Amino acid sequence: MNQERVAASFQANADTVLRAAWHLTGDRGIAEDCTQEAFLRLMQQPDSMTDEHILPWLLRTAKNLAKDYLRSAEHSRTVPLEEHDAAGDPFADASARAALRAVMRLPEKYRLPMQLHFVEGYTIDETARLLHLRLNTAASLLRRGRKLLQKAYEEEMI
């Protein structure tokens, strides 16, 4: 894929991919690395890839890169999320910090659908297509994820 299309895609989707990677790693720096690597790998793809397939491909690639990182030896040398937050917390608001910790407590299968639907603004149908899920499955994940998030958030706030 030529650099102009990759750059345009980066402008449009970089934050979405960054958040998806962050959901899996819990580390901002690692998420940034995964994001950059995902876009670099996008350059290897043929120009025939359509625009609507770019974001699903980027999310899948970022997810795989994050999993590779979690399996790697480098992961064992990084600091846990709590220590990281304590060292340089980007969220001044305590409730926001609790909400993010609550999201990280959710099973992985809930995180990405919730991000795409609630944060990025995709409809349930679009979310299902982006993640290659059935519509009912995506809706069910969102409904249950919201309940679990509420419960986890309240526990974090105590």
Which residues here bind another protein, judged by CB under 8 A? 3, 6-7, 10-11, 14-15, 18-19, 22, 28, 31-32, 35-36, 39-40, 43-44, 46, 90-91, 93, 95-100, 102-103, 114-115, 118-119, 146, 149-150, 152-154, 157
In whole angstroms, how close is the CB of 21 to another protein at the nearest point?
A: 10
- Nearest to another protein of 36, 78 (CB atom): 36
CB of 42 to another protein, least distance (A): 9
User: SS3 for 132?
Assistant: coil
- Four-CA torsion 23, 107, 55, 27, nearest 10 degrees: 10
d(C-alpha 56, C-alpha 127), whole Å: 10
| Least distance (Å) between residue 86 CB and another protein | 17
Decide: residue 36, CB within 10 A, 0-12 exposed, 13-18 middle, 19+ buried: middle
Nearer to another protein, 3 or 76 (CB): 3
The answer to whether residues 6 and 110 touch, using CB atoms and an 8 Å cutoff, is no
